Chains A and B, each alone.
Chain A
Amino acid sequence: MLRKFLAIVEDTIREGLAKKTILGMLIVSTVTIIIAVLLFQMDSVQKGLLSPAGEHIKNGSNQPAPGLMGLSVLEYVWMSISMMLLVASIFVGSFVTTGFITSLMEKGNIDLLLSKPVPRWLYIVGRYSGAVLIILVEVSYLIFGLWLVAGLSLHTWSGVFLASIPLITLSFAGVYALVTLVGILTRSSWFAMIIGLAIYVLASIVVPIAQWIDKLLNGDTGGGIVTTVAKIFHYTIPSEGMGGALNEVLLSKELHSTPLFLTTGLAMVYVAIACYAFSKKEF
């Protein structure tokens, strides 16, 4: 079984490498690292990055933002890069990898695969794992590269930046589980990506909107029925709260495990549902 699983993962990675978009992502990461090398050689940049963030970054009252107290500009930059990478990995990553699920079900391919002595669920788990592995490598390459350049240039080794690698990958894995399920149900890459990401974005903003509606309806922002339903929806979509968890780790060096466990659990549930749906499909 393990050998078959690894064969599917390997095939997914081969398919990924054959797609120029994944190679493009690696090139963009390399260019980013090269730019960082050049920037970090400059004295003014080095001094600026090592100075306290509060000197440079102010809030609306021209005061240092409370969250930045005790942080260097470099740590603030790490946080910004991590948050951008989290968003990019979810959206660009989904765009690049959605095809792995739907190509599995293409005519001429699926008959052949289903004729092999492989349980159907293994194809989904293998393809899903292959996609997550690709994003893990992409994110690791960029983050580790930047971290190495900064460490060698500035002689400061902030290991907490590296913690963003598993967190960003987990965020992608959560959303990709949802995209995988939609992909199985619709058999369309575009539908999978658009519907999956739309659900994720909607779940991110639905609670404040629901609270506003509740306030309009009965002046209550906390416990109205609309808000309750919205919260249930919000907490059943994977990766919600992962941005906050990443912020916490980078700013206060504390890891809140709830979003991690919730995302991991929900991703497993969504992949399990996708496997079940795939096992019942006829081709």
Chain B
Amino acid sequence: MEIALSCDGLVKTYGSGTKAVHALQGVSLSVSGGEIFSLLGPNGAGKTTLIKCVLGIVFTSAGSGSVLGSPFGSVSAKEHIGYLPENHRYPAHLTGGQVLRYFGKLSGLEAAKLESQITRTLELTGMSDWRDTKVKKYSKGMMQRLGLAQALINEPQLIMLDEPTDGVDPVGRKEIREVLVRLKNEGKTIFLNSHLLSEVERISDRVVIMDHGKIVEQGTVEALTRTGNIYQLKLGNVTPEVLSALHVALLPTADGSLEMSFLTVEELNAAIDYLRGQSVLIESIVPKKSTLEDRFVDLFKSGDITHQ
């Protein structure tokens, strides 16, 4: 699969001397075409700076990068990129349709194509009824939907979204997620920057977690949320003596289950055999499932982030 975006040793420093802010410190990553790639990290991690470098809104201090086969910030690459910035603002005197017409023209769309794209993107984002309403009357959620429509106006190959569901109600968030998945299925590459980890987890193929301008973790969602052989067992009529004879790490949970860690699946089966041999009633065995949020919180709570 071709690479939509890549960077190698990207450095961005704002200011100089003692006031220097090291927003990016040697970031290297690559995004494959057709995937949903998410960038996570606490505030000030450098996520937005990375996007700004890609689009040429700020200039890199060192390192190299390419987007859709062109250097970062190149006008030719931007013809195939759609971008929804965080806290975007549209001229209050324009209607939703006029906003899309303006940005469509800036994206180089021809007149006939432009009108059909305005209709299509407004439909896609559920904003058709608001086409002729001035944006000053839009709610935050409607502004986000219009922003998404704006990002899609030029039928981009790469869609970069900074907090796309910010201020959107749960139903709207679900609709936006569905739009993103549909776009992915059409072969578009989606670069997502979001604080809503549950959403990221649901739709992302790969995730990068950043902190202080560095990548601290990256991989597929599955790999990041994998917990190993930890199971939650709900047992009836079990005695402490039986449990101590198991020789496994035990952790009681809130619902009365016991969380047990095994090195291998064979070890789990041996434990089950032993418990059954002791006439212990096994009510349920559930493999423990971690979430991206758990992983994220663990990573930043532990304080021992290992920078790549």
> Which chain A residues have a beta carbon within 8 Å of chain B's beta carbons?
3-4, 6-8, 10-11, 14-15, 17-18, 106-119, 282-283
Q: Which residues on the A side are within 8 Å of B56 (C-beta)? A: 114
A14 touches B94 (CB 8 A): yes
How far, in Å, is B109 (CB) from chain A's closest CB?
9
A118 touches B75 (CB 8 A): yes
B78 within 8 A of A: yes
A282 touches B55 (CB 8 A): no
B75 touches A119 (CB 8 A): yes
B88 within 8 A of A: yes
Stretch of B79-87, B186-194, B260-268 lying at the A interface: B79-87
Name 10 extra pairs, CB < 8 A, besides A14-B94, A109-B90, A117-B107: A7-B106, A11-B91, A11-B102, A14-B93, A106-B89, A109-B89, A111-B83, A114-B55, A117-B78, A119-B75
Q: Which of B14, B85, B90, B92 has a CB less than 8 Å from the CB of A111? A: B85
Give how many B residues have a beta carbon under 8 Å from the other chain's beta carbons.
Answer: 31
B105 within 8 A of A: yes
Q: Which of B78, B87, B88 has a CB less than 8 Å from the CB of A116? A: B78
B87 touches A108 (CB 8 A): yes
B275 within 8 A of A: no
How far, in Å, is B304 (CB) from chain A's closest CB?
34
Q: Which residues on the B side are within 8 Å of A283 (C-beta)? A: 52, 57-58
Q: Which residues on the A side are within 8 Å of B91 (C-beta)? A: 11, 14-15, 18, 109
How far, in Å, is B292 (CB) from chain A's closest CB?
27
A117 touches B108 (CB 8 A): yes
A265 to B204 alpha-carbon distance, docked (Å): 55
Given A14-B93, A14-B94, CB of A111 within 8 Å of CB of B79: no
A117 to B56 alpha-carbon distance, docked (Å): 11
Which residue of chain B has the shortest Cβ distance to A6 in the bound complex? B105
Q: Which residues on the A side are within 8 Å of B130 (C-beta)? A: none
Which residue of chain B has the shortest Cβ distance to A103 in the bound complex? B91
A65 to B69 alpha-carbon distance, docked (Å): 73
B138 within 8 A of A: no
A112 touches B93 (CB 8 A): no
Given A18-B93, A111-B57, A112-B88, CB of A7 within 8 Å of CB of B83: no
A18 to B93 alpha-carbon distance, docked (Å): 6
Q: Which residues on the A side are within 8 Å of B92 (C-beta)? A: 18
A283 to B107 alpha-carbon distance, docked (Å): 20
A112 touches B103 (CB 8 A): yes
Q: Could you pull out 15 A-B pairs where Cβ atoms are within 8 angstroms? A: A3-B105, A6-B105, A7-B105, A11-B102, A17-B93, A18-B91, A18-B92, A18-B93, A110-B57, A111-B83, A112-B103, A113-B106, A115-B57, A115-B83, A282-B14
Q: Which of B79, B94, B102 has a CB less than 8 Å from the CB of A117? A: B79
B107 touches A111 (CB 8 A): no
Most chain B CB atoms below 10 A, which of A7, A15, A18, A106:
A7
Q: Which residues on the A side are within 8 Å of B150 (C-beta)? A: 112
Which residues 111-140 in B have Cβ within 8 Å of A in the complex? Answer: none
Q: Which residues on the B side are within 8 Å of A18 (C-beta)? A: 91-93
B296 within 8 A of A: no
B85 touches A112 (CB 8 A): yes
Most chain B CB atoms below 10 A, which of A7, A109, A115:
A115
B93 touches A111 (CB 8 A): no
A118 to B52 alpha-carbon distance, docked (Å): 16
Given A108-B88, A117-B78, CB of A15 within 8 Å of CB of B93: yes
Most chain A CB atoms below 10 A, which of B83, B98, B105:
B105
How far, in Å, is A165 (CB) from chain B's closest CB?
28
How far, in Å, is A105 (CB) from chain B's closest CB?
11
Which residue of chain B has the shortest Cβ distance to A115 in the bound complex? B83
A116 to B103 alpha-carbon distance, docked (Å): 8
Q: Which residues on the B side are within 8 Å of A118 (C-beta)? A: 75, 106
A115 touches B87 (CB 8 A): no
Q: Which residues on the B side are within 8 Å of A112 (C-beta)? A: 83, 85, 88, 103, 150
A17 to B91 alpha-carbon distance, docked (Å): 12
B93 touches A282 (CB 8 A): no
How far, in Å, is B242 (CB) from chain A's closest CB?
62
